[in-house]
Amino acid sequence: MKGIILAGGTATRLFPLTATTSKQLLPIYDRQMIFYPLNVLVKGGIKDILIIIAPEHSGHFVNLLGSIFDKHDIHLEFKIQKIPRGLADAFIVGENFIGNDNVTMILGDNIFEDDFSEDIKNFKSGAKVFAVKVPDPERLGVVVFNKQMQAIKIVEKPKEWISDYAVAGLYIYDNRVIKAAKTMKPSGRGEIEITDLNSWYLERGELEVGLVKGKWLDAGTFDSLLEAGNYVKEKKLYENFHPAINEAIKEFNEELKMLTKKKL
């Protein structure tokens, strides 16, 4: 299993904060946002992770993450995406990185309270996504369930209400996702939609939809960014990090302090 984190985009809703650095490098309580999706993948046993980033802040990611995990058997690669072409484009951009493996992709601004380790480790084939009940499903990809809570339809940003369940930003696919992504036609907004990719698996009866039970935060606005930091502090979610990540952050901080003292 390989891992992909999408950390590109301009994040205009967070200007002026994102005028100087990437959204995924903004703090969520005591660490940068990017560590939260990293934690989901690492706890799931994934050691090879591709981070897709925008060119304007690429140096910031490398300065923070370039060598932080060298001692911990976690290997990060970076790929610059100059023009965002939709979430599903990540599997085309990352084709060589994925190789013949399955892949788990997570959005770099999504914070989950749930632990998805077993979902990732036990995955065999097809696709698995996760739905969460939200008050504003019209702005997201929406899942329609039957009475047995089996997914029967997925629609991107429906104009009329069809369901309260939206697809959260964590996706697990088998290796066919690369070929499937290449067959997707851009939508009206010119993007290769992840919803079309999920529908491709659903039509073949190979899409499993799990339910998010804990808190899910999409930290893309000032309010949600603040809410995420407060929630992490209140629920002590920082205690749920994989030991390798906590140790890497600690070592990074100590190294920075030592270098600062030498400069002084």
Question: Does the structure show a pLDDT above 90 at 30?
Answer: yes
Kindly report, residue by residue over 34-83, the tens digit of the pLDDT. Answer: 999 999 999 999 999 999 999 999 999 999 999 999 999 999 999 999 88
- CA distances to 38, 66, 135, 224 from 18, rounded to whole Å, are 20, 21, 26, 15
CA 244/CA 198 separation, integer angstroms: 32
Provide the domain limits for residue 104.
2-263
Predicted local confidence at residue 112, as pLDDT? 97
The C-alpha torsion from 38 through 163 and 137 to 205, rounded to 10°, is 40
**End-to-end Cα distance, the chain:** 45
CA 132/CA 125 separation, integer angstroms: 22
Q: What is the CATH number of the domain that holds 131?
A: 3.90.550.10
Question: Does the structure show a pLDDT above 90 at 140?
Answer: no
- Residue percentage of the chain with pLDDT more than 90: 83
Predicted local confidence at residue 11, as pLDDT? 79
Report the number of distinct structural domains present in the chain.
1
Kindly report, residue by residue over 192-235, the tens digit of the pLDDT. Answer: 999 999 999 999 999 999 999 999 998 889 999 999 999 999 99
- Is 0.85 topped by the overall pTM? yes
- CA distances to 34, 61, 233 from 65, rounded to whole Å, are 10, 6, 23
Angle of CA points 206, 211, 213, to nearest 5°: 160
Question: Does the structure show a pLDDT above 90 at 5?
Answer: yes
Q: What is the pLDDT of the chain when averaged over all its residues?
A: 94
Kindly report, residue by residue over 153-192, the tens digit of the pLDDT. Answer: 999 989 889 999 999 999 999 999 999 999 999 988 888 9
